[in-house]
Amino acid sequence: MDKGWGLTLEKSDHFVNKPVFGFNLNSGLDHLNNNKGLSMFPVNSKGGEEQQASPHERRVVRGEVDFFSEKNRPFNALVKKEINSHGEARDLDVNTGLQLVTANTRSDQSTVDDGMSSDAEDKRAKNELAQLQVELERINNENQRLRGMLTQVSNNYTTLHMHLVTLMQQQQQNSRTENTQQQEIVDIKSEEKKHENGGSMVPRQFLDLGSGVATEEQSNSISEERTISGSHNNNNNNNNNKLELSGNKRTGRDESPESEGWAPNKALKMNPPKPVEQSSEATMRKARVSVRARSEAPMISDGCQWRKYGQKMAKGNPCPRAYYRCTMAVGCPVRKQVQRCAEDQAILTTTYEGTHNHPLPPAAMAMASTTSAAASMLLSGSMPSADGLMNPNFLARTILPCSPNMATISASAPFPTITLDLTQSPNPLQFQRPPAQFQVPFPVGLQNFAPVQPNSVPQVFGQALFNQSKFSGLQMSSQDINESPQSQPQPQPLYNADTVSAITSDPNFASALAAAISSIIGGSHPNNSSSGSPNNANVNTSNSNKSGNSSFQGS
DNA sequence: CGCGTTTGACCCGCGC
DNA sequence: GCGCGGGTCAAACGCG
């Protein structure tokens, strides 16, 4: 026989006197079940992997066996057969040299000789092999189907998102026109007329961000809003000026028009007249989302590609702060900072800033959308409080109503920053992950069938962001939805949780798409178009102060 | 040789 | 005005 097949159950090798069957199930669903179940492997007698001992005897000298989860033994072990002078065989792990359990020493082997003849067993094993192959094929087909579904859903999402962005831009344009007209009235009419406009209709979303720290830009934007109101056609000129100024600061930098969002802040400040939208872009750009996560591992994968462009020692922290720029598209303005926490260096803080100007792979969509939603809510102009300041508690509860302590708003930071603290587990079941290897707590899609805990973090965010009532609250201009909700007509969310849940009934799909779709709900700011905000990334930040040795790779 | 990282220098904002 | 700190640039360097 040219080719022998052996079948082992459990970790029996029992190759002697038996044809050895096999193929490997562990690459399939078995992997998700801790490698329990059959372990079969091919044996090729042509390659010196097998040797004949007698006409009906086949001895495997070397073959690949997938073992079960067992201490000190790899799942895939190469087996070396040793046969002594008495014809007794024993198996050794090629890698470890350890003796494996053999049929001679175990009586409970599933492949213990049951009296069947070699041919009969061969036939039985072949049948079993055929069944398993059919099952494998079915699994592969299912895999293919699910991937197709994922692609389709992803495409639908992109289409819907773009449509939504278009609509929101139109809406914003209309709103701005109204506001401008109202502002003209304010400018022209006497002061006692001003209160008739109520002021509340004037978009305040970019005022007083950062808990009252009204930046110079914001102040400029306010005045500019009034200035422009007298001359609408200043817009184009201002934009042109901005582009020129943003590029003349440093030559050869950010040549792409898309990168204007990352034009140096000074360029923006150098440009006295700024249209409202421009100002909002600047503010949006400055919105930051920090993600704190406990990570011993040097790498965090989020599906985006990053390039390190700087590293600095930050004051008060022995660990260096690394600066990364998204390189998935030319001129993508998204940047991020990575720094370990001074108090607990196991905690990695990743701060995102900017909005991607390119499509994101599904693996990056979840994180990007979640952070985008957070940033959008942070900057949402429809949620200023009565005193013009955002209520951090409200925002925190809005983003993560199930765990208010996970989201905090920084009031002292120079930029409005929301911090998603993933180091605190509101529900232990929601944060089950390998301790040594940090995994971005967002599903990475189904492309690799990575096991996703049903109650993992993604659903935390998904639940939070799908919470329709909370998002309706975002449309209010109240200080706190729980405290003083106003009864103004509110725009209805385009989606509701039920609809999305129905679509994403599959737990994996649900968790993978929850955050992504939620960005449509929450991240409806026109400036937050396309793929949403920043992505987390692989973080390789060594604790050494000098050589960060940080590298970021997309999945 | 191309690409990514490292690292010193530079720019800017802010506080004193 | 000066110094400090954050952020960025870009030449040098290393690696595949």
Spatial strand order in the sheet of A62-66: A62-66, A76-83, A89-93, A99-100
What is the reported pLDDT for A109? 37
Res A253 pLDDT > 70: no
Which of A312, A543, A539, A308 shows the shortest CA–CA distance to A439? A539
How far is Cα A402 from Cα A76, in angstroms, rounded to an integer? Answer: 42
- According to DSSP, residue A190 is labeled -
pLDDT tens sequence across A37-66 = 333 333 443 433 333 333 333 333 334 333
Nucleotide nearest to A315 (CA to C1'): C5
Kindly indicate the confidence band of residue A5, based on its pLDDT and cuts at 50, 70 and 90: very low
pLDDT tens sequence across A404-462 = 456 666 645 567 778 888 776 544 333 333 333 333 444 333 233 233 333 333 333 33
**Separation of A249 CA and C10 C1' (Å):** 15
Kindly indicate the confidence band of residue A174, based on its pLDDT and cuts at 50, 70 and 90: low
What is the reported pLDDT for A401? 44
Determine what percent of chain A is predicted with pLDDT higher than 70: 23
φ, ψ of residue A266 to 5 degrees: the values are -65, -30
Least confident of A214-223, A335-344, A511-520: A214-223
Q: Whole-structure pTM over 0.75, yes or no?
A: no
What is the reported pLDDT for A97? 61
* Residues A39 and A31: beta-carbon distance below 8 Å: no
Closest residue to B3 (CA, C1′): A307
**Separation of A268 CA and B3 C1' (Å):** 32
Strand partners, A339: A349
Burial of A131: CB neighbours in 10 Å, binned 0-12, 13-18, 19+: exposed
Between A273 and A340, name the one with better pLDDT: A340
Q: Per the structure block, which two tokens stand in for A341?
A: 């926490």
What are the b/e assignments for A472-511, b being 16+ CB within 10 Å?
bbbbbbbbbbeeeeeeeebeebebebeebeeebeebbbbb
Highest mean pLDDT among A152-156, A253-257, A353-357, A430-434: A353-357
How far is Cα A19 from Cα A119, in angstroms, rounded to an integer? Answer: 9
Within 7 A of a protein CB, which nucleotides of strand C? 4-10
**Separation of A93 CA and B16 C1' (Å):** 71
> Using a 7 Å CB cut-off, which residues contact strand B?
A 215-216, 249, 264-266, 269, 306-312, 322, 327, 414, 546-552
What is the reported pLDDT for A249? 37
Sorted by sequence, the CB contacts under 8 Å of residue A145 that are 6+ apart come out as none
Res A234 pLDDT > 60: no
Determine what percent of chain A is predicted with pLDDT higher than 90: 0
**Separation of A462 CA and C16 C1' (Å):** 41
Q: Per the structure block, which two tokens stand in for A239?
A: 């934009």
**Separation of A309 CA and C10 C1' (Å):** 10
What is the reported pLDDT for A510? 39
Within 7 A of a protein CB, which nucleotides of strand B? 4-9, 11-14
Which of A444, A415, A408, A412 shows the shortest CA–CA distance to A536? A444
Tell me the average pLDDT of chain A. Answer: 51
pLDDT tens sequence across A334-378 = 888 888 888 888 888 888 888 888 888 777 777 777 777 777 666
**How many other CB atoms are there within 10 angstroms of residue A94's CB atom?**
14
Integer Rg of chain A from CA: 30
Strands A288-294 and A347-353: antiparallel
Nucleotide nearest to A306 (CA to C1'): B4
Q: Per the structure block, which two tokens stand in for A34?
A: 């801790």
* Residues A295 and A438: beta-carbon distance below 8 Å: yes
What is the reported pLDDT for A424? 65
Q: Per the structure block, which two tokens stand in for A441?
A: 């707590």
Spatial strand order in the sheet of A335-340: A306-313, A320-326, A335-340, A347-353, A288-294, A417-421, A407-410
Nucleotide nearest to A325 (CA to C1'): C8
Res A245 pLDDT > 70: no
